[in-house]
Amino acid sequence: MLLAIDVGNTNAKFALFDGHRMVTRWRIATDDRRTADEYAVWLDQLMRIENLDRKLVQAVIISTVVPRALHNLRLLSQKYFQLEPLIAGRDPVGWGIALKVEEPGSVGADRAVNAISAQALEPQGEKLVISFGTATTLDHISAEGAYMGGIIAPGVNLSLEALVAAAAKLPRIAIEAPETRSVIGRTTESQMLIGIYWGYVAMVEGLIARMKAEIGQPVTVIATGGLAVLFDQETGLFDRIEPDLTLNGLMQLYEKRDAE
């Protein structure tokens, strides 16, 4: 089996693949101080719950946007799986796609992996990948699978945290769809929710529309991230939602490398 590890700014996701089939996945809060031993104890307990033996893991591939987390994850693979992990974007696992931007080296690993995954899902036509995470990113993937560039915006949770931190009297609220489609709130909480939810919907709608107009061809919009479903409920902005886009991209990257 392949152990795929995707480390984002907020969460680290682990998944086991048997060929192209995802067997299971787990999530843990990102902490670049977490040691290899701590990861091992956590993983071992979860694998035991699902009657999985650590010896089933025959390869490890890692993608991270948190460089300081890489050392302990590499050590996890070496010490507890006796495997040298493959690091996405580094030799011998190059991206295998064109990064048609001014600074290819600055493209986040998750965005490059998402491009690979999106191309595998939609081999023909232009793609737009929107990922809801700590930041919300929108990326244009060409019909040929090249990464063409995109947009980085503050994530919705980050925006809400900044608002609450800067305004002493505003309460913390959960991000959810408002009870009605009215945009005139009658309480402080409802006004905040309207501003965050519908304000964010308006931003995403506007950015998608502008990107589509600039691309000038039919575009398939693929969304990923925990809040994709929430925003799709009221808007129908996305053609498809793929919660495991990045993990599947890591599997695709490993398979591509393995076939070379």
Q: Is 110 a catalytic residue?
A: yes
Q: Which of 115, 137, 108 is nearest to 203 (CA)?
A: 137
How many angstroms separate the CA atoms of 8 and 38, rounded?
18
Whether residue 64 contacts residue 70, with contact meaning beta carbons closer than 8 Å, is answered with yes
Tokens 């990064």 -> residue:
99
Instruction: Provide CB contacts within 8 A for 255, sequence distance 6+.
Output: 20
Whether residue 30 contacts residue 69, with contact meaning beta carbons closer than 8 Å, is answered with yes
DSSP H helices, 28-134, are: 36-49, 67-80, 109-121
- As separate numbers, helices (DSSP H) first and strands (DSSP E) second, the chain gives 7, 10
Q: Which of 116, 157, 118 is nearest to 134 (CA)?
A: 157
Q: Which of 74, 145, 63 is nearest to 109 (CA)?
A: 63
Instruction: Provide CB contacts within 8 A for 99, sequence distance 6+.
Output: 107, 112, 146, 147
* Catalytic site residue from 32, 37, 110, 244: 110
How many angstroms separate the CA atoms of 169 and 116, rounded?
45
Q: Which of 20, 62, 65, 58 is nearest to 39 (CA)?
A: 62
Which amino acids are annotated catalytic?
A: 110
